[in-house]
Amino acid sequence: MSDRVMVFAAPFVRHEPGAGQLLRDAGVEIVHGPTDRCPEPAELVDLLGGCSASIASNESYTAEVFGALPDLKTVARWGVGYDNIDLQAASERGVVVTNTPGRVTQSVADQAFCLMLALARRLPEQQEVARSLNWRHVEGTELWSKTLGIVGFGSIGRAVAERARGFSMRVLAYDPRMDAWEAGRLGVEPVGLDELLAESDVVTLHAALTEGSRGIIGEQQLRAMKPGAFLINCGRGGLVDQPALVRALQEGWIAGAGLDVTEPEPPEPGDPILDAPNTIMTPHNSSMTAESAARVNATVCENVLDVLEGRRPRFVVNPQVFGPGG
């Protein structure tokens, strides 16, 4: 019997049959799971019964899920974040967890700048005025020569810094694991979070969501920002204390927010973030370009195939699964 792979990642399914051709050529059976919602753990167990691999989206892989799936060899995350996967439980069960770093970097960096520009130039309001035919001036602000603060200086943060050079922006960055060489190459100033918040005209979040970074932007941090500053979040909704952000927008602590992510996703009906003033929201879409989908689909197939054929994948996020020293 051939290995079976269940796919939950919508961008993979959307680009089928080409997306999975590498796996099919190797004799792997591909089954498409639900892509319009995240299955609850009990349903996830039912769907993955007898499967060797999952090409995962945002569904939760808990210790109970891993315990109920003895045939599961790998969870291959479509994208970078894996905060929805219990890595310790996966490792204890011998399940290799992989992701696809760097494959969506340019797309997410583009989206971050898209949101910055849309906020600065009040693009939604301009569009509304233009379509009303009752034309009037909508005065925005320039990004040119402003100060940009980047929280999280991984590949996406660095790609945002690259783009900022074209706008002659002063760029500050905060990251506990700052790559000083990369910062110097890009003309970026490494600073503490307090200094970044106080001096930036735009703060953009690109940190991984961990217990240490959850709620890194809360009431204290929002009050520390300039009243005219914008907050951009193309990282994870959990990086921000969302009720505090709503208050900040309602009471004018900051000038606006561009959000590609929220917590939860999507927001519940009636969530005040949906009506927050000076806020542009997109549906966790920053990685969704044709180019990035092709890159991620190829890499996620390579990750799965490596595990199924007994090789160590290039992008393993739980190296402890391979024993002491990873």
pTM: 0.87
Which residues are tagged catalytic? 236, 265, 284
Tokens 């379509």 — which residue? 131
Domain 105-281 in this protein, CATH class = alpha beta
Superfamily of domain 4-103+289-322: NAD(P)-binding Rossmann-like Domain (3.40.50.720)
> Which sequence spans correspond to the domains of the chain?
4-103+289-322, 105-281
pLDDT tens by residue, 268-292:
999 999 999 999 999 999 999 999 9
Interval 76-122: pLDDT, tens? 999 888 989 999 999 999 999 999 999 999 999 999 999 999 999 99
Decide if 171 contacts 150 (C-beta within 8 A).
Answer: yes
pLDDT of residue 326: 65
Q: Is the pLDDT of residue 1 over 60?
A: no
Segment 116-166, tens digit of pLDDT: 999 999 999 999 999 999 999 999 999 999 999 999 999 999 999 999 999
C-alpha to C-alpha distance for 241 and 64, rounded to whole angstroms: 29
Same topology, domains 4-103+289-322 and 105-281? Answer is yes
